[in-house]
Chain A
Amino acid sequence: MTLGQRLIANEWSAIAVAIVIGVVGLAATSPAFLTEFNLYVMMRSFCVVLVVAFAQMLTLAVGQLNLSIGALGGLVAIAIGGMMEVLGFPIAVALPIGLAIGALGGLINGLLTVRTGINGFIITLATASAFTGINLGITESIPFYNLPSAFVAFGTARLSAFPMLLIPPVIVALLLALFLARTVPGRQLLAVGGNPHAAQLSGVHMNGIVVLAHTLSGLLAAVGAILAVAQLGSAQPTIGQDWLIMSFAAPIIGGAALTGGHVSVAATALAVVLIVLIQNGMVLAQVDPYWVQFLLGALILAAVGLNRLRAVRAGEA
Chain B
Amino acid sequence: MRLTVEDIGKSFPGVTALDGVSFEIRPGEIHALMGENGAGKSTLIKIITGLYRPDRGRLLVDGVPADFHSPRDAIAAGISAVHQERNLIPRFTVGENILLERLPRRHGLVDYGRVHREARRFLDMIDPSIDTRTEVRRLSVAQMQIVEIAKALSLEAGVLLLDEPTASITGHEADALFAVLRRLKAEGKAIVFVSHKLEEVTAISDRVTVLRDGKVAAAGEPIASMSRGRIVSAMIGREERVAEIGERDLRDRTAVLEARGVATALGHRDIGFTLRKGEILGLYGLVGAGRTELARALIGDVRITAGEVRVNGRPVAIASVPEAIRRHRIGYISEDRKAEGLILAHPVRSNVAITVWRRIASALGLVGRGAERRIVEPLVRKLDLKTPSIEQGVGKLSGGNQQKVSIAKWLAAGVEILIIDEPTVGIDIKTKTAIHELIAEITRDGVSVLLISSDMPEMITLADRILVMRDFALVGEIENSRRYEPMSRRIMSFIHQGAEGAAENEPNGPEAAHG
Contact = CB atoms under 8 A, between A and B. Distances in A.
A79 interface: no
A198 B71 contact: no
Given A183-B110, A190-B89, A195-B88, A202 B100 contact: yes
B92 A194 contact: yes
B109 A198 contact: no
A197 B90 CA distance: 12
A198 B92 CA distance: 12
Nearest to A316: B137
Interface string A178-204: 100011100110110011011111111
Contacts of A204: 72, 100-101
Interface in B68-105: 70-72, 75-76, 81, 83, 85-92, 96, 100-103, 105
A261 interface: yes
15 contacts: A184-B110, A190-B89, A194-B91, A198-B88, A199-B100, A200-B71, A202-B71, A202-B100, A202-B151, A204-B72, A204-B100, A204-B101, A205-B70, A205-B72, A316-B137
A44 interface: no
B99 to A, nearest CB: 9
Contacts of B83: 201
Interface in A297-317: 314, 316
B105 to A, nearest CB: 6
- Main secondary structure, interface of A, reads helix
Contacts of A203: 70-72, 75-76, 101-102
Contacts of B75: 202-203
A178 B108 CA distance: 11
Given A201-B51, A261-B90, 14 more contacts: A183-B108, A183-B110, A184-B110, A187-B96, A190-B92, A194-B89, A195-B87, A195-B88, A197-B85, A200-B51, A201-B49, A201-B71, A202-B87, A205-B70
A262 B92 CA distance: 10
B48 to A, nearest CB: 13
A204 B72 CA distance: 7
A195 B90 contact: yes
Given A197-B85, A204-B100, A205-B72, A184 B90 contact: no
Interface residues of B, number: 28
A135 to B, nearest CB: 36
A191 B100 contact: yes
Contacts of B92: 187, 190-191, 194
Nearest to B99: A202
B91 A182 contact: no
Contacts of A199: 89, 100
A184 B71 contact: no
Interface residues of A, number: 23
Nearest to B107: A182
In order of increasing CB-CB distance, the 9 nearest A-B pairs are A198-B87, A203-B101, A194-B89, A203-B75, A182-B109, A203-B72, A202-B100, A202-B101, A191-B89
Given A182-B109, A182-B110, A200-B70, A187 B87 contact: no
A240 B91 CA distance: 33
Nearest to A257: B91
Contacts of B88: 195, 198
Nearest to B115: A187
Contact of B103 (A184, A205, A261, A316): A184
B108 A190 contact: no
A119 to B, nearest CB: 15
**Which residue, B72, B81, B105, has most C-beta atoms of chain A within 10 A?**
B72
Contacts of A183: 105, 108-110
B70 A262 contact: no
Contacts of B89: 190-191, 194-195, 198-199, 261
**Which residue, A197, A202, A261, has most C-beta atoms of chain B within 10 A?**
A202
Given A187-B110, A199-B100, A203-B71, A261 B87 contact: no
Interface in B26-58: 49, 51
Contact of B91 (A197, A205, A261): A261
Interface in B134-153: 137, 151
Nearest to B88: A198
B345 to A, nearest CB: 15
A202 B75 CA distance: 8
Contacts of A194: 89-92
